[in-house]
Amino acid sequence: MTTPKQDTDTTRTLQGLEDSRSSVRLRAALAAGTTPDPRFVDKLIERCAIEPEFYVRETLTWALTRHAAPARHAAPTRHAAPARHTGPTLVTKLVGQLRSEHARARSQALHTLSKIGDRRAWPAITPALLTDTDDEVAQSAWRAAVVLVPEGEEPELARALAAQLGRGGRATQLSLSRALVALGEVITPTLRAATTNSDPRVRQHAIATERLLNDPDTGFEFAIEEAKRIMALGATSQEG
């Protein structure tokens, strides 16, 4: 049973999530996370798919994680995911968003699933999402995959992620490198193979990622420049 005041507060929060002012939407998202209520879930997911403001989207995701319960299916702490999971209804609803034609809906659902860390969502991290033509969706899929991958399937995931080496600009490449490095030493054989790829962009990205794996404190730009030098020296040696 809910009280009239609780019902009024819930209605106010739901209305606030639809307000044209980002500051009001932010306060409503904070309220939804501070006092979780199953009635908020659909609206929070719906708003995630269309919210234009980054900081509001992050708060919406936080609010959804607040509707989670202690996990039996959580990813291990080495993936830095919260030890939480949602009930099947919320997981199912988020997974449903992965089939949306709207990139933001797919991206934000992946981001939220990675924060929740419930491995029941793993089967929904498909090759299509890992190779999504939208860079933000692909990046969210890489991060979610690293969090949700079951033990023993890391090498296969490493190969799938390595197939994207050389893709996009610096931000996209850094995101992929971080995802690969998060898998740990299991990526070494895959990276080593990629360093002999016929595509110079793939080779450069693989060498830079290998550098980050060996020295996590290395900046990505430095790693890329070092990869360029290594490739240039290799080319000079071959010419000689």
SS3 per-residue string spanning the chain: CCCHHHHHHHHHHHHHCCCCCHHHHHHHHHHHHHCCCHHHHHHHHHHHCCCCCHHHHHHHHHHHHCCCEECCCECCHHHCCCCEECCHHHHHHHHHHCCCCCHHHHHHHHHHHHHHCEHHHHHHCCHHHHCCCCHHHHHHHHHHHHHHCCCCCHHHHHHHHHCCCCCCCHHHHHHHHHHHHHCHHHHHHHHHHHCCCCCHHHHHHHHHHHHHHHCCCCCHHHHHHHHHHHHHHHHHHHHC
* Selected residue with higher pLDDT from 164 and 79: 164
Which residue, among 107, 37, 66, has the nearest Cα to 13 in the 3D structure?
Answer: 37
| Alpha carbon distance, N-terminus to C-terminus of the chain | 82
Question: What confidence tens digit (pLDDT) does each residue in 105-122 have?
Answer: 999 999 999 999 999 999
Question: What confidence tens digit (pLDDT) does each residue in 217-239 have?
Answer: 888 888 888 888 888 876 544 44
Q: Does 75 score more than 80 pLDDT?
A: no
Give the per-residue pLDDT at 234. Answer: 62
Structure tokens at 28: 């409503």
> What would the mean pLDDT of 153-161 be, rounded to a whole number?
97
Give the per-residue pLDDT at 88. Answer: 56
- Cα dihedral sign, 36-37-41-46: negative
Q: How far is it, in rounded angstroms, from Cα 233 to Cα 144?
A: 37
**Residue 86: band (very low, low, confident or very high) from pLDDT cuts 50, 70, 90:** very low
Is 108:141 a contact under the CB 8 Å cutoff?
A: no
> What residues contact 193, with CB distance under 8 A and at least 6 apart?
162
Q: Does 76 score more than 80 pLDDT?
A: no
Span of 6-15, 71-80, 212-221 with lowest mean pLDDT? 71-80
Give the per-residue pLDDT at 156. Answer: 97
Q: What mean pLDDT value characterizes the chain?
A: 89
Structure tokens at 129: 């999402």
> What would the mean pLDDT of 82-86 be, rounded to a whole number?
43
> What would the mean pLDDT of 3-21 be, rounded to a whole number?
89
Give the per-residue pLDDT at 220. Answer: 85
Q: How far is it, in rounded angstroms, from Cα 27 to Cα 32?
A: 9
Q: Does 80 score more than 90 pLDDT?
A: no
What is the number of other CB atoms lying within 10 angstroms of the CB of residue 7? 12
Is 96:124 a contact under the CB 8 Å cutoff?
A: no
